[in-house]
Amino acid sequence: MLSLLARRLAMSLLVLVIVPSLTFLFEALSPGNIAETLLGQNATAAQIRQLSRSFGLNRPLLWQYGHWLSGVLHGDLGTSYTTGQPVASMLSTRLPVTLSLAAGSMLVAIVIGLGLGLLSAVSGPRLRRLVDVLSVAGLAIPAFWLGINLVVLFAVKIPAFPATGYVPFASSPLQWLRSLVLPCLAIGVGLATLIAKQTRDQILTALDQDYVRSLRANGASESSVLLRHALRNASIPLITVVGVSFVGALTATVFLESVFVLPGLGSALSLAAQEHDLPTVEGISLYFTVMVVATNLIVDLAYGWLDPRAR
Amino acid sequence: MTGAITAEEPGQAALTAGCPVAERSLLRCFARQRMGVISAVYLAGSLAACLAAPVLAPYPPDAQDLNIPFAGPSAAHLLGTDELGRDVLSRLLYGGVLTFAGVGEAVAVALLLAVPIGMIAGYHGRRLDQILGRFADILLAMPIIVVLLMLYAIFAGSQTAAMIVLGILSSASLFRVVRGSTLPLRGTGYVISARVSGVSTGRILRRHILPGVAGPVLVNASVIAAVAVVLQVGMNFIGFGAQPPNPSWGGMISDAQQALSEHPWQIASPGLAATLTILAIVLLGDAMRDAFAAKWGLESPAARTAQPPPPAATEPSPEVSSPVTPGATGPPEPTRASALLSVEAASVWLSGGGGVLVTDQVTFSVEAGQAVGLLGESGAGKTMTALAILGLLPADGQISGGRCWFAGTDLFSLDRRQRARRRGRGIAYIGQEPARNLDPCFTVGAHLKEILRTRAGKSESRKALNRMVEEALAAVGIVDPASVAARYPHQLSGGMAQRASIAIALATRPRLLIADEPTTALDATVQAEILDLLCSLRKEQGLSVLLVTHDWGVAAGSCDRAVVMYAGQVVETGTVRDLTQDPLHPYTRALLDSVPRMDTAGPLATIAGAPPAPGQWGAGCRFQPRCPLATAECGHGPVHLAGPPGRASRCIHSEVG
């Protein structure tokens, strides 16, 4: 287990280095110069030269990469091309928004998914079929489109929640919650159907095991068989699904932050990509990669914690 | 996994999605998946319509008519117009080309990378496989959306580049699928013989491996395609890829969102177009998976359809009804009044596979303090009988007749809930494979505490419970109970796990222990120890035991009476001594002859043929086809159990003394 963890940790570090570096790789592959792209077609050669010099773009790409890496190690993610602000400080205010959104979505996904999955595992074939239908629908409906539909229903037709905008938790916990309900539902509902299907299948698999027969025969209560034993055994494969779902939720934040105009990392990433603001893109990619890698590591650790055989 | 599922246990036999064995061509199996066919037709139709957009579309994609912005559906504009009066249907068709092209690019790149590399990794194995595996791990750990947006930041607006990168990232999961499906094929006979006869690796991969991995690859490719649509539409929505005024589904949703409060229905058409496309891809993938499963004879979830009900009551009980007097030669045949457990004409019906009767009017009883062996080959109905008594038949099983008296109650008359409430009171159970009968996530102590708590109530203190756990383990001959209590099942030897299982069963303070093949999975020496333990527990605690076994050696060594079952029926009952020394039924005799003995020379006798599967029992004696004594008379009609008190046999040839 320890060697596996060490290997995973090494791989995580590798991913952490590779992903933000890809911008430099893409730049190397790109035929054009980023300064040209930034300034547009009407720029003069002098303007391009001047911009290149001020961003350090006239240096070799490898030097730029080394410069960026050493900056990262000192907590400096560089300066935005478009705003001139330090990237790190800009992202630090945006991180909580994305984390709130992703965590809230997972809360929705796990509560609905686990509940529906358990319910359908113990109930008749009709509910089981419904879970199948829902899980296909959950895969098929794009979360951001579902989000717009939720806005139509619960912000425009019935003005129960704000259509757009974000209120920090510190200024008003209630408004913070209200601003997150619709986007979290939009992301969480689709993931919930995935978790529900997996929960149902894993619970049914667990209930089919010999130990469940022995437990029941010797008088263990049905609620203990289901909630203590079957759920515990099902949670081992389920934790992987939850990890995959969290990464899916992070992906969805990029689109949902755009729908709901939330000032998170995702909307900043799409804006920065549109404006070719490479330092910001690199910084956000580092943040996202850290979150994905951390999720994978937590799943690995949870595996060992949940499954005595894996310790 | 191949289709090598025998029909030994008919209830568990695989169902094949309604696809008869004779006509298992893949296409036919697929054609039976209705949703899959509809999806394939929808995808092909919409792809063709999008490609033919210049011909089919009523308007050019950017033809504006500012007089009619946000028009509703009409004959001129079937899906209405957008904010600039452009025809929505035309824009959907032109925009769809982009979607399908993107999906095609991503899937093609993933296939081109993953299929050859995956086959080579799986076929060669070793170092190369390891390195490629690590590489795939790294790709899988990358946040796809971030990489795609980076790409857009540099190659502004190039959707093809993004889709190629998506294909590269997705190839990692496909690689794993290909590699995983190649591994088992590597060792198959035809691949080995091709290699031995000098066929080149490339040719083996193409001719022998590729057809085998095609199924899983197609299914996985559908997942990649669905993800590609989601991501592409999303990227178009946030402004990447197609630039206005060029139409894209995501861009149309984005345009519609600008006028959301006044014209909310504008988001419907492009969103539904995307949703239906993804839906069709997902359903097509599911249908392909089920078609492959059906072709290879594996059970698919879709095949679990409604089960037929059991038939009305079978023949009236023909069982022994002679008054019983205590026999002189051994333990008495118990009556309902004196017996601890009395099973009367118990029939169990399994609804799987069209429905079959698996036990047919089984009658026997167990006296207090007695050990009764329930004997027979696998499939004879022993385990089903035991499970019926416990009220733990599988989901498709039900009791279709009979009674089961225990402590004054007919257990068969209780409904599910009542039966569940009575479990763990009076009757305990240990199963065949000790390690699998303990929950792998819980320690032995946790198992014991749970059962002890249901009996003792929640009032027991922690300390008292711990003491009870150690006492219970010590009582089954475990020397260091405290250490064993703290262990998980996978940390126990088979014998130790079975002792722990017995301790858990006894924690309920049962009067009857049902042991289903308790020693079959154990080594011979451990087997003897466990049987000795059961014997001494019987003596010390006055415990009754119903020992389900296929092994005469086990039954003879530890039981007072035996009940021999064949093809769902009891064929002979009596004391173990009577049955071993003077078997009346030819099946009992044959079973005894097939027990290996040290004192006789010569080859071991076997019973020719196989027992009939449930549902194919015939009208007469069920052993007749394999019986050395069989005459024409044996097939005439049902043979009944008959015999003197305490002894009965189901054979018209048996001379009952």
For A140-187, write each residue's pLDDT tens digit.
Answer: 999 999 999 999 999 999 999 999 999 999 999 999 999 999 999 999
Residue B135 CA to its chain's centroid (Å): 33
Q: Tell me whether residues B234 and A255 touch, CB distance under 8 A.
A: yes
- Residue B203 structure tokens: 């040719």
**A83: pLDDT strictly greater than 80:** yes
Nearby residues of A270 by Cβ (< 8 Å), 6 or more positions away: A254, A258, B149, B238, B239, B240
Query: Does residue A27 carry a pLDDT above 50?
Result: yes
* pLDDT at residue A41 tops 90: no
What is residue B49's three-state secondary structure? helix
Q: How far apart are CA B197 and CA A184, in angstroms?
A: 61
pLDDT at B599: 65
> Which chain B residues contact residue A23 at CB under 8 A?
150, 153-154
Phi, then psi, of B244 in degrees rounded to 5: -55, 145
What is the sign, positive or negative, of the torsion defined by CA atoms of A274, A275, A281, A284? Answer: negative
Phi and psi angles of residue B222, each rounded to the nearest 5 degrees, phi first: -65, -35
CA torsion through residues B297, B300, B305, B310, sign: positive
Q: Which residue has the higher pLDDT, A107 or B157?
A: A107
Between the two ends of chain B, the Cα-to-Cα distance in Å is: 54
ipTM entry: 0.91
pLDDT at A252: 95
- Say how far apart CA B486 and CA B481 lie, in whole Å: 9
Q: What residues in A contact B134, CB-CB < 8 Å?
A: 11
Yes or no: say if B412 and B343 are a contact pair by the CB < 8 Å rule.
no
Q: Name chain B contacts of A249, Cβ cutoff 8 Å.
A: none
Enclosing H/E stretch for B566:
strand B561-566
The H or E element spanning position B514 is strand B512-516
Q: Which of B49, B52, B86 minimizes the C-alpha distance to B66?
A: B86
**B525 burial class (0-12, 13-18, 19+ CB within 10 angstroms)?**
exposed
Q: Which residues of chain B have pLDDT under 70?
A: 1-24, 157, 296-337, 353, 456-458, 597-604, 655-657
Largest distance between two CA atoms of chain A: 86
d(CA B543, CA B550) in angstroms, rounded, equals: 22
How far apart, in Å, do the first and last CA atoms of chain A sit? 6
User: What pLDDT is attached to residue B268?
Assistant: 92
How does DSSP assign A226-251, residue by residue?
A: IIIIIHHHHHHHHHHHHHHHHHHHHH
Average model confidence (pLDDT) across chain A: 90
Tokens of B570: 């009891």
The answer to whether the CB of B429 falls within 8 A of the CB of A217 is: yes
Helices then strands (H, E): number in chain A?
A: 13, 0
- Interface mutation vs chain A, best among B130, B146, B155, most A CBs within 10 Å: B146
B234: amino acid identity, one letter: G
Query: Could you say which of B144, B152, B267 has the minimum Cβ distance to residue A273?
Result: B152
Measured distance CA(B414)–CA(B422) in Å, rounded: 9
Q: Residue B321: what pLDDT?
A: 36
**What is residue B317's predicted lDDT score, i.e. its pLDDT?**
40
B633 or A203, which is more confident: A203
Residue B545 · residue B538 · CB < 8 Å: yes
Distance (Å, whole) CA A248 – CA A259: 17
Q: Is B225 within 8 Å of B106 (Cβ atoms)?
A: yes
Q: Do A281 and B150 touch (CB under 8 A)?
A: yes
Is 90 exceeded by the pLDDT of residue A48? Answer: no
This prediction's pTM: 0.84
pLDDT recorded at residue B603 = 67
- Chain B hits for A212, Cβ within 8 Å: 439
pLDDT computed for residue B168 by the predictor: 95
How far away is chain A from the Cα of B334, in angstroms, using its nearest Cα? 25
SS3 of residue B402 by DSSP: strand
Task: Please report, rounded to a whole number, the percentage of residues in chain B having pLDDT higher than 70.
Answer: 87
> Residue A162's pLDDT is what?
93
Predicted pLDDT of residue B191: 87
Residue of chain A whose Cα is closest to the Cα of B232: A142
Would you give the DSSP letter of residue A123?
S
Residue (of A57, A20, A89, A190) closest to B149 by Cα position: A20
Per-residue confidence (pLDDT) for residue B446, from 0 to 100: 94
| Interfacial B residues in 168-227 facing A (CB < 8 Å) | 226
Which residues in B lie closer than 8 A to residue A31 (C-beta atoms)? none
Token pair 């029939």: residue? B347
| Residues 440-479 in B contacting A (C-alpha not used; CB under 8 Å) | 440-442, 447, 450-451, 454-455
Across the beta sheet with B341-350, the strand order is B356-366, B341-350, B397-406, B409-410
Q: Distance, in angstroms, between A56 CA and closest chain B CA? A: 17
